Amino acid sequence: MPFDILTIPCLSDNYAFILHEPSTDTVALVDAPSAAPIRAELENRGWKLDLILLTHHHDDHIDGVAELVAAYGSKVIGAAADAHRLPPLDIKVSEGDKIKVGAETGDVLDVSGHTVGHIAFSFPQAKAVFTADSLMALGCGRLFEGKPDQMWASLSKLAALDPGTTVCSGHEYTEANARFALTVDPENAALRDRVDWISKTRAKGGFTVPSTLSEELATNPFLRAGDPAIRADLGMADASDAEVFAEIRARKDRF
Ligand code: ZN
Ligand code: FE
- Find out whether 56 and 115 touch, Cβ atoms under 8 Å: yes
In this model, does residue 1 exceed pLDDT 80? no
**How much distance in Å is there from the Cα of 3 to the middle of ligand 1?**
26
Q: pLDDT by residue (tens digit) across 42-69?
A: 999 999 999 999 999 999 999 999 999 9
Could you list which residues have their CB under 5 Å from ion ligand 2? 60, 133, 170
Burial tier of 84 (Cβ tally within 10 Å: 0-12, 13-18, 19+): exposed
pTM of the model: 0.98
Q: pLDDT by residue (tens digit) across 64-122?
A: 999 999 999 999 999 999 999 999 999 999 999 999 999 999 999 999 999 999 999 99
Ligand number nearest to the C-alpha of 117: 1
Q: How far apart are CA 119 and CA 115, in angstroms?
A: 9
Residue 2 pLDDT grade (very low, low, confident, very high; cuts 50, 70, 90): confident
**How much distance in Å is there from the Cα of 55 to the middle of ligand 2?**
10
Q: pLDDT by residue (tens digit) across 205-242?
A: 999 999 999 999 999 999 999 999 999 999 999 999 99
Q: Given phi > 0 = left and psi -120 to 50 = alpha, else beta, which region is 46?
A: left
**How much distance in Å is there from the Cα of 37 to the middle of ligand 2?**
17
| DSSP output for 155-222 | HHHHHTS-TT-EEEESB--HHHHHHHHHHH-TT-HHHHHHHHHHHHHHHTT----SEEHHHHHHH-GG
| DSSP output for 1-37 | --SEEEEEEETTTEEEEEEEETTTTEEEEE--S-HHH
Where in the sequence numbering do the catalytic residues fall?
A: 56, 58, 60-61, 114, 133, 171
